Amino acid sequence: MSFSFTNPEPNRDDGRSFSFTGSDPADIDRQLQTIADMAHEILRRVDDVRRQINN
C-alpha cells in the first residue's frame, strides 16, 4: 500500500488531495487511524507550545 499527495485540478477548494492504493480495506482503515493519531499528537504538541509562549 502507498500513500501519496497529488496536485488536483486547480478549482478544488483546498488545493490538495490524497489517495491510497492497495486492495485491502482493513489496511486503509489502519493507515487512516495512524494518520488521525499522528494529527492528534501534532495538535496536542502545538497547543503545548502555544501555552508556553503565552505564559
Regarding predicted confidence, which is higher, 16 or 3?
A: 16
- If you write DSSP's letter for every residue of 1-55 in order, what string do you get? -EEEEE---TTSSSS-EEEEE-S-HHHHHHHHHHHHHHHHHHHHHHHHHHHHHH-
Could you give the CA distance from residue 55 to residue 52 in angstroms, rounded to a whole number? 5
Residue 53: predicted pLDDT: 94
Residue 1: predicted pLDDT: 47
Report long-range pairs for 24-32 (Cβ below 8 Å, ≥24 apart).
27/1, 28/1, 31/1, 31/3
Tell me the per-residue pLDDT of 9-54, one tens digit each, with 9 for 90 and over: 555 566 566 666 666 888 888 888 999 999 999 999 999 999 999 9
pTM for the whole thing? Answer: 0.57
